[in-house]
Amino acid sequence: MEGLSLHYFFSLLMVTIVALEGLAPPYSSTATTTKIFQFNVEWKNVTRLCHSRPLLTVNGEYPGPTIAVHEGDNVLIKVTNRIARNTTIHWHGVRQIRTGWADGPAYITQCPIKGGTSYTYNFTVLNQRGTLFWHAHYSWQRASVCGAFIIYPRMPYPFSAPIHAEVPIILGEWWNVDAEMMASEMMKYGSGPNYSDAYTINGLPGPLYPCSVKDTFTHLVERGKTYLLRIINAALSDELFFAVASHTMAVVEVDATYTKPYTTRAIMVTPGQTTNVLLTADQIPDSSGMFVVSARPYRTSVFPFNNSTTVGFLRYKMTKALKGKSLNTPTNLANDNLPEMENTDFARDFFVRLRSLASTEFPCMVPKQIDKRVITTIGLNLQDCPANKICTGLNNKSFLASMNNQSFVRPSTSLLESYYMKRNTGEYSFDFPEKPPKAFNYTGVDPLKENMNAEFGTKVIELEYGTNLEMVLQDTGFLNVENHPIHVHGHNFFIVGGGFGNYDVEKDPENYNLVDPPERNTVGVPSGGWAAIRLKADNPGAWFVHCHLEEHTSWGLAMAFIVKDGSTESKSLLPPPQDLPSC
């Protein structure tokens, strides 16, 4: 009798354990809490590709620690800078309602955190759920200073498949050299950056790179179970294709907003974007028990780039049939599902097929009417070399990038602080052009016949609280056409339209999707084309808008919005925190 009840007790316990494991994420209906984290920015010796070097990390981890919170939580992250360089951290995609001081981009919302000092980022995660990420927002430090930022929902996921486990997958890049040093060289000579030495999955390059078989991402799965992959593109220079051999995936969320599920053999994810997919381990593995997981660039630019592939594995748990057989690393590392690097058709289809979930619970809040339309070119420039400089960009000129021919210069104190303190430093002005300075065939330009010099400045657009804004991003053919991932801080936007060629202000708006356009924080503007985004400027503060290809940000492909306070306190920016760093 006793034995029986013990047995009964144990089977109950088993059920509970299984149920808990299956119950990902940790749903919680309890009141919101404060989650506290300590981030030490510090050097750590790391070896990849037979190269050992001091790598900039948070808490010695590469990639950095995962931040996991619940929707509604107050988050306090104390960042202590233990290096002799400046730093800041940005919570990419977190809306930062009224807490612009905690957004992180250096010289936009704060002065850098100097070596030996700390700053506590204090914000509340409101009305967002899903996968985002955090990264350093100073020079090229985000090459290694980044990690997942997961927001668990208060309500169950709106998809039915029971999720067995969740797997963060951070796609990144590894340099054998110090990325920040490389960036300062590049800026000094107006040249392009060295491309990275490897792509990585969770910091691991995988078997196609030298000395890297031991540094290979492997995830154990159980046949028949469904997994939620939280895919983050933390790379600096490349849009990426990602796929798992022989398996399809269902996209269910992008940039922490739910989508209508759709099934695909691969995804395209730009730097700054995140994509959640459901993957069911429904295949029969060969004797290796493994399936290839891989990522490689989607390439549109003509400049030299890293054309390699990062490979990892899904390893099926030993089934009876496999027991006793020795498991070898598969010799075939090919992945039929992974698009070719030039596959613009795949990238375009992926872009076109994304839709907001637009359900009663999660309605699509796209502005149907707009108060203002800003049309801006995005592209590269070649700048005449200043007399006192050596320039090693094309034709002994220096590479630059711009929006509406304005190459953004970061001010010497933070934009937000100057604006808030009403300090008229003369360092910035409110006259960012709302349309291109001259109309031409943007995507068909012969660069050598055009005047390529941009203007330098810190020009912003000031918006009344609540403005329904449309921004049309028009790629140019200066130097080359290219897919640009444009990221907006402090707001999500809706991608209401897009296409190849030149935007037509008369015709194109007729084809906008104002019903269920995808909601994101980063849009991959089609190479040689345009994208129209809409947002409600309901977050007072100073918000950086920039290309998430790091070299383009460095070259000035950026601008900023200043959103004014609304009519009440609850629509106004909070005062700056006591420990806000000064310049």
Instruction: Tell me how far, at minimum, the Cβ of 88 lies from ligand C2O, in Å.
Output: 10
- Is the Cβ of residue 108 or residue 463 nearer to ligand C2O in the bound state? 108
Q: Is 487 in the site for ligand C2O (CB under 6 A)?
A: yes
Tokens found for residue 391: 């320039």
Binding mask 369-388 for ligand C2O (x = CB under 6 A): --------------------
Identify the DSSP state of 448.
Answer: G
Query: What distances in angstroms separate CA 220 from CA 16, 22, 180, 247, one per listed residue?
Result: 22, 15, 35, 15
Q: Is 520 in the site for ligand C2O (CB under 6 A)?
A: no
Instruction: Tell me how far, at minimum, the Cβ of 241 lies from ligand C2O, in Å.
Output: 20
Residue type, 319: T
Which residues 6+ apart lie within 8 Å of 440 measured at CB? 450
Tokens found for residue 96: 């930062």
- Is the Cβ of residue 236 or residue 293 nearer to ligand C2O in the bound state? 236
Cβ atoms within 10 A of the Cβ of 407, count? 19
Instruction: Tell me how far, at minimum, the Cβ of 103 lies from ligand C2O, in Å.
Output: 8
52-60, 193-201, 315-323, 543-551 -> range binding ligand C2O (CB under 6 A): 543-551
Instruction: Tell me how far, at minimum, the Cβ of 137 lies from ligand C2O, in Å.
Output: 6
Identify the DSSP state of 357.
Answer: -
Nearest partner of 244 among 169, 305, 298, 306, judged by Cα? 169
Q: Is 484 in the site for ligand C2O (CB under 6 A)?
A: no
SS3 content of the chain, % helix, strand, coil (to 5): 15, 40, 50
- Is the Cβ of residue 129 or residue 487 nearer to ligand C2O in the bound state? 487
Instruction: Looking at residues 263 to 322 of the shown chain, list those that interact with ligand C2O (rule: CB under 6 A).
Output: 272
Which of 48, 95, 98, 137 contacts ligand C2O by CB under 6 A? 137
- Is the Cβ of residue 278 or residue 533 nearer to ligand C2O in the bound state? 533
Which of 135, 299, 520, 552 contacts ligand C2O by CB under 6 A? 135
179-187, 239-247, 393-401, 544-552 -> range binding ligand C2O (CB under 6 A): 544-552
Strands (E), 255-289: 257-264, 267-269, 274-280
Which of 70, 90, 355, 491 contacts ligand C2O by CB under 6 A? 90
Strands (E), 281-335: 290-298, 310-316
CA distance 186 to 399: 9
159-167, 364-372, 444-452, 540-548 -> range binding ligand C2O (CB under 6 A): 540-548
Nearest partner of 90 among 19, 144, 146, judged by Cα? 146
- Is the Cβ of residue 206 or residue 272 nearer to ligand C2O in the bound state? 272
Q: 373: helix, coil or strand?
A: strand
- Is the Cβ of residue 442 or residue 561 nearer to ligand C2O in the bound state? 561
Strands (E), 358-507: 372-383, 398-403, 406-408, 455-457, 460-463, 467-475, 484-488, 493-500
Instruction: Tell me how far, at minimum, the Cβ of 146 lies from ligand C2O, in Å.
Output: 9
Nearest residue to ligand C2O, by Cβ distance, number only: 92
- Is the Cβ of residue 90 or residue 230 nearer to ligand C2O in the bound state? 90
Q: Total binding residues for ligand C2O by CB under 6 A?
A: 11
59-67, 220-228, 320-328, 541-549 -> range binding ligand C2O (CB under 6 A): 541-549
CA distance 183 to 489: 23
**Preceding amide of 577 cis, omega within 30:** no
Q: Is 552 in the site for ligand C2O (CB under 6 A)?
A: no
Query: What distances in angstroms separate CA 328 from CA 216, 316, 332, 528, one per listed residue?
Result: 14, 13, 11, 45
CA distance 358 to 152: 19
Q: Is 544 in the site for ligand C2O (CB under 6 A)?
A: yes
Which of 105, 130, 206, 526 contacts ligand C2O by CB under 6 A? 105
- Is the Cβ of residue 459 or residue 546 nearer to ligand C2O in the bound state? 546
List contacts with ligand C2O (CB under 6 A): 90, 92, 105, 135, 137, 272, 487, 489, 544, 546, 548
